[in-house]
Amino acid sequence: MVDLFTGIPDELIESTLQTIRENLDKVGLFGGHTLRKHTDIQLMVLKNRLTKEDIRYATSYWDVNVAAAVASGLMRKFYDSDIVFWLKNSSNDYISLIGRFPQTIGYGFRKGEDRLNENLRKACLVLVKDPQADWGFRILTSYPMFER
């Protein structure tokens, strides 16, 4: 487990957490899993993923701007309530954040269904601690979700 703040004075920790809060928009998607598998993906590619991978649904954000806005929005929403505690705690290197949005953020297919759903409004964002990252963590993945 990664402990980002071992031996660091409390006042420096709080200052660092405030700096992270002010710079959440700079925690980017940077060519990771989200961009390769869940952003502006063609419909046949999504259908193909359902047949070749052990997944319940295959989804995509409308475009990179929507994907970035969702990631930023979820980090802002959960920063004080969940992310700060997670960063200070060394028991888990990953955190999953799930949120709903008022507007559609993406589209996708469920396994066993042929109908495209273009009204996805729920998303998952998974962060992983990374001492080499500028902010002590990075986005592992993010993807639109079906409601149920």
> With contact defined as beta carbons under 8 Å apart, do 71 and 29 qualify?
yes
Q: How many domains does the chain have?
A: 1
In a domain, 21, yes or no: no
Q: Under DSSP, is residue 134 helix (H, G, I), strand (E, B) or coil?
A: coil
Smallest Cα–Cα separation from 74: which of 16, 66, 87, 110? 66
In a domain, 92, yes or no: yes
In a domain, 13, yes or no: no
What is the pTM assigned to this prediction? 0.90
pLDDT digit string (tens) for the chain, length 148 residues: 888 888 889 999 999 999 999 988 888 776 677 777 888 899 999 999 999 999 999 999 999 999 999 999 999 999 999 999 999 987 899 999 999 999 999 999 999 999 999 999 999 999 999 999 888 999 999 999 999 7
**pLDDT given at position 31:** 61
In a domain, 2, yes or no: no
| Element holding 99 (H helix, E strand) | strand 94-100
Domain that holds residue 77: 27-145
In a domain, 62, yes or no: yes
In a domain, 76, yes or no: yes
Residues 79-122: pLDDT tens digits?
999 999 999 987 899 999 999 999 999 999 999 999 999 999 99
In a domain, 77, yes or no: yes
> With contact defined as beta carbons under 8 Å apart, do 142 and 70 qualify?
yes
In a domain, 11, yes or no: no
